Amino acid sequence: MKTWQKLSSKKGRQASGSYLLDGWHLVEEAIQHHGHLHALIGTSEQLKLHATELPTGVPVFEITPEIAKKLSDLVTPQGIFAEVSLPKANRAPQFIHEGAWLFLDGIQDPGNVGTMVRTADAAGFAGVVFGQGSVDPYSPKATRAMQGSQFHIELASGDLLTWTAAFKENGINVYGTELNPAAVDLFTVNPEPAFALIMGNEGQGMQPALSAAASQNLYIPLVGEAESLNVAVAAGIAMFALTQG
Amino acid sequence: MKTWQKLSSKKGRQASGSYLLDGWHLVEEAIQHHGHLHALIGTSEQLKLHATELPTGVPVFEITPEIAKKLSDLVTPQGIFAEVSLPKANRAPQFIHEGAWLFLDGIQDPGNVGTMVRTADAAGFAGVVFGQGSVDPYSPKATRAMQGSQFHIELASGDLLTWTAAFKENGINVYGTELNPAAVDLFTVNPEPAFALIMGNEGQGMQPALSAAASQNLYIPLVGEAESLNVAVAAGIAMFALTQG
């Protein structure tokens, strides 16, 4: 129990190489997409309810509703969890030649990170790369917002200047995003099937070195008096505009 | 103090006809856009810091940092608040002949509601209409996500079937949104300058009667394995695609 509780912190997740999924929808995604399951953990009620859907060969632990409340950050948890492996080391960017990629530069809010992974999946992106300074994507709040999309697309981490240089070396355009109307209106861009889109920190935007390294910087034209967009909304608008628009 | 604390509930806000803004950015938006201010409330530090920016003729109340913590739902509030009037009764829809409008049908999450108002502002929408069953937009969490956009565009509430009928009567198309690929791909639609876009409940979507009443139902084509989008992200994609796409 203590061990599972530790998975609520990044330190605990890195020590065990695993993270916790909270609720049947996420557990089911892990099962269906062959996530590497260490343990299934549930109240007797939840384990009975899903008895026929649980995979064989994975240790099952029954917990009380009180312990379920301790494991969850929700006020009323469903009472079913899975402990799954963190992904292994990711591909090096120089081996990537296709697909649309989202680069996250210093995104701080776990809900925003999770929502962006979910949206990247829905937009048909190949993967999401977490730069140094972005929040850990395996917290309960982030994985809840992901809705299982981490099992559908590739999640990687690394230095975004290195990733940007490698993509450009491979002939793949890397688009930064800024609030600056001196940048290019993203609704006028028709990218190739392979490209990367960078979203920057909620308050500060992209780090200047990354902005300078981008093939081109784009902006979303704002019409009203709002000064900016929520970063997850901006990412959604940009990802769909660049792939469907 | 007790009175201000009551503004954290919808009941308290309706009783007083006012709501509370938390933090200087929101207070400043209210001042600049001539929101009807009942009171400015701050710690001595915050009141000194913004002394030259506070409007005359509005009662100012000094509070301790402990009381600031009680008034705020944030862990570390800035310590400055404004009590402002709820908007007056809104225009009847039959008098509306222009602009893009967002209709919210049963949106439950205050953060989603606030983010959608902020995004509607940024997309140049004229207003947002809250249908019956949508969460109250004047909670602290919702107004924080709005970032002051309630002072830039019109917020209205009413029965969305009535609004839809009135808009159609005025020759304005009302677009529903669904996950159903039998609906029309929204990236193929080029609306007139005046239209309404309906977003439905996070889990259930639009109420069927409203879907049936819409001029047309649109969907956002999802490419990956994600089953849906966060509703605030979907609204952002749709609003920008219909105005900029």
- pLDDT 10s digits, B49-86: 999 999 999 999 999 999 999 999 999 999 999 999 99
B42 — pLDDT class (breaks 50, 70, 90):
very high
Tell me A135's DSSP state.
P
Helix axes B110-122, B231-244, angle to 10 degrees: 10
Domain B2-85 in CATH 2.40.50.140: no
Q: Is the pLDDT of residue B88 over 90?
A: no
**Interface probe with B: pick from A112, A152, A231, A237, most Cβ of B within 10 Å:** A237
Asked, colleague to colleague, whether B2-85 and B93-244 share their fold, the answer is no
**pLDDT on residue A55:** 93
Q: Mean pLDDT across the stretch A120-147? A: 95
**Angstrom distance (rounded) from CA B235 to CA B229:** 9
Q: Domain ranges in chain A?
A: 2-85, 93-244
Q: What would the CATH number be for the domain defined by A93-244?
A: 3.40.1280.10
Taking an 8 Å Cβ-Cβ cutoff, which residues of chain A contact chain B? Answer: 115, 118-125, 145, 147, 149, 152-153, 187, 220-230, 232-237, 240-241, 243-245
One-letter amino acid for residue A39 of the chain:
A
Q: Is the pLDDT of residue A120 over 80?
A: yes
Task: Tell me the CA distances in angstroms from B13 to A230, B118, B141, one per residue in order.
Answer: 26, 21, 14
Q: Is the pLDDT of residue A2 over 80?
A: no
Q: Mean pLDDT across the stretch A226-245? A: 93
Q: Is the pLDDT of residue A89 over 90?
A: no
**pLDDT on residue B181:** 76
**pLDDT on residue B182:** 78
Higher pLDDT, A180 or B84: B84
**Interface probe with A: pick from B118, B185, B233, most Cβ of A within 10 Å:** B233
Q: Do residues A214 and A119 touch, judged by C-beta distance below 8 A?
A: no
Q: Mean pLDDT across the stretch B184-202? A: 94
Q: Mean pLDDT across the stretch A214-242? A: 94
Q: Is the pLDDT of residue B245 over 70?
A: no
- Rg of chain B on CA atoms, in Å: 19
Asked if B147 and A227 come within 8 Å (Cβ–Cβ), the reply is yes
Q: Is the pLDDT of residue A245 over 70?
A: no
**Angstrom distance (rounded) from CA A152 to CA B95:** 48
B224-239 in b/e form (b: 16+ CB < 10 A) is bbbebbbbbbbbbbbb
- Of the candidates B235, B51, B31, B35, which has an alpha carbon nearest to the alpha carbon of residue B145? B235
Mean pLDDT of chain B: 94
Q: Is the pLDDT of residue A78 over 90?
A: yes
* Residue percentage of chain B with pLDDT more than 90: 87
E strand map for A67-139: 80-85, 100-105, 127-130
* Residue percentage of chain A with pLDDT more than 90: 87
Q: Is the pLDDT of residue B3 over 90?
A: no
